[in-house]
């Protein structure tokens, strides 16, 4: 008996392979378009700067040059070349004077060549299809990339946000973190506005600051995990003495994804309001996380008022319980963090002692973006705390 001829449905593996091809093509084209736009804007900025520097770099000449150029470009190419945008292109070139641009892409832009096929794409797709995508820079591997080198994962919007960062070390740090954490431009902007670099820099010496600018935020020990202050402006809660822990906790759960970004890399949510029963007495842990880098549980307790030694004692109870009852082979010591509206560093120091201060921490939370003046005040407070005597019984 002959089989009827017809069109059979593709098997799932085949469909998945085709889907992967299309997903790859879509992401590759998007990155190529972003990269080409970044390069074009950088080259335009270079043309403006070089024209200004031909012995006529007076401010009035530069202003007139950009205005005249803008009029012609807007007429031919649209509103994307307004004066403000051209000034941004100029600032981009001046801010990234050594941006690495592949010769192939420069030539493509200069000669208006048609799109070419990347050899890497042919190889990865095993010649199943030929994708008409522009050249993507070859110097973008994670190992070889460094700040200041063109990266296809950074769009023009990313670079425009980065230009607002004046300090070279801070800008390099945000470049690294944006690529490592795959931040969208909006998240990058939030991290810059929350002064992440300055908050992390507070607890680091000169060598530590250099590492931030070269390697970004690395988590190697418990003190690398927590920030002070923790900025939670995304909750939309007002600064109010009537705020209670349950409201704060619910707001954090409702915005858990953003809260995890604020906490930093490595946090995985485990539980909220976990009940502990000890000889008939019930206790409730606000939030429990697991840190995938340090391989340990992290307990967070929330206090909307000023931190007291009783609060620290309660957190000690939770940490000790987890160390004895939940910690398994391969887990590191449990860490505890109290998020509080205010704290007395001396109370923390004398309540915990030297050993427990390695695993239990207290951080202030901010319900609004801090100003640099506020952060400087925090820094002075931390310096005073670090310079205070560490012996618990006084000098002998």
Confidence band, pLDDT 50/70/90 cuts, at residue 43: confident
H/E element, 355: helix 345-356
Longest dimension (CA), the chain: 103
Q: Is residue 337 part of a domain?
A: yes
The 10s digit of each residue's pLDDT in 298-354 is 999 999 888 888 999 999 999 999 999 999 999 999 999 999 888 888 888 888 877
Whether 196 has a pLDDT exceeding 90, the answer reads: no
The residue among 34 and 342 whose pLDDT is bigger is 342
Give the chain's radius of gyration (CA, Å).
27
Q: Give the residue with greater pLDDT, 203 vs 37.
A: 37
Chosen domain end from 146, 163, 180: 163
pLDDT at 357: 81
Q: Are residues 227 and 363 in the same domain?
A: yes
- Residue 252 predicted with pLDDT over 80: yes
**Residue 66 placed within a domain:** yes
The pLDDT of residue 271 is: 92
- What sign does the dihedral 309-311-316-321 (CA atoms) show? positive
**Cβ distance 319 to 303 under 8 Å?**
no
**Model pLDDT for residues 152-169, shown as the tens digit of each residue:** 888 999 999 999 998 888
The number of distinct structural domains making up the chain is 2
Reduced to 3 states (helix: H, G, I; strand: E, B; else coil), residue 198 is: helix
Q: Are residues 86 and 153 in the same domain?
A: yes
Burial of 9 (0-12, 13-18, 19+ CB in 10 A): exposed
Q: What letters, b where the CB count within 10 A reaches 16 and e where it falls short, cover 284-316?
A: ebbbbbbbeebebbbbbbbbbeebbeebbebbb
pLDDT-derived band at 142, boundaries 50, 70, 90: low
Q: What is the mean pLDDT of residues 174-197?
A: 89
Q: Is residue 15 a part of any domain in this protein? A: no
Give yes or no: residues 260 and 368 share one domain: yes
């Amino acid at each position: 008996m002959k089989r009827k001829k017809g069109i059979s449905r593709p098997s799932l593996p085949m469909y998945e392979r085709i889907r992967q091809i299309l997903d790859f093509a879509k992401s590759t084209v998007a990155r190529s378009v972003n990269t080409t736009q970044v390069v074009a804007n950088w080259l335009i900025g270079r043309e403006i700067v070089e024209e200004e520097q031909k012995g006529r770099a007076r401010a009035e000449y530069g202003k007139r040059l950009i205005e005249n150029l803008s009029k012609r470009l807007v007429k031919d190419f649209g509103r994307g070349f307004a004066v403000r945008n051209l000034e941004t292109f100029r600032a981009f070139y001046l801010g990234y004077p050594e941006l690495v641009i592949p010769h192939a892409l420069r030539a493509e832009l200069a000669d208006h060549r048609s799109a070419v096929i990347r050899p890497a794409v042919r190889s990865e797709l095993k010649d199943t299809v030929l994708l008409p995508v522009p050249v993507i820079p070859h110097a973008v591997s994670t190992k070889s990339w460094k700040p200041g080198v063109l990266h296809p994962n950074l769009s023009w919007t990313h670079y425009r946000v980065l230009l607002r960062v004046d300090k070279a070390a801070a800008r390099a740090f945000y470049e690294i973190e944006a690529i490592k954490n795959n931040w969208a431009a909006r998240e990058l902007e939030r991290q810059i506005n929350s002064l992440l670099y300055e908050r992390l820099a507070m607890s680091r010496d000169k060598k530590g600051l250099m590492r931030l600018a070269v390697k970004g935020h690395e988590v190697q020990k418990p003190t690398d995990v927590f920030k002070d202050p923790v900025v939670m402006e995304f909750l939309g809660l007002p600064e109010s003495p009537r705020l209670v822990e349950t409201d704060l906790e619910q707001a954090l759960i409702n915005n858990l994804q953003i809260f995890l970004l604020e906490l930093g890399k490595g946090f995985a949510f485990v539980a909220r309001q976990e009940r502990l029963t000890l000889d008939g007495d019930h206790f409730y842990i606000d939030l429990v996380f697991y840190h995938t880098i340090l391989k340990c549980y992290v307990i967070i307790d929330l206090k909307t008022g000023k931190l007291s030694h009783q609060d620290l004692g309660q957190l000690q109870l939770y940490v000790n319980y987890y160390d004895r009852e939940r910690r398994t082979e391969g887990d590191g010591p449990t860490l505890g963090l109290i998020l509080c509206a205010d704290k007395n560093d001396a109370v923390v120091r004398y309540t915990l002692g030297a050993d427990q201060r390695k695993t239990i921490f207290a951080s202030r939370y901010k319900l609004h973006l801090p100003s640099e003046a506020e952060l400087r005040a925090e820094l002075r407070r931390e310096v005073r705390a670090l310079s205070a005597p560490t012996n618990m019984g006084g000098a002998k």
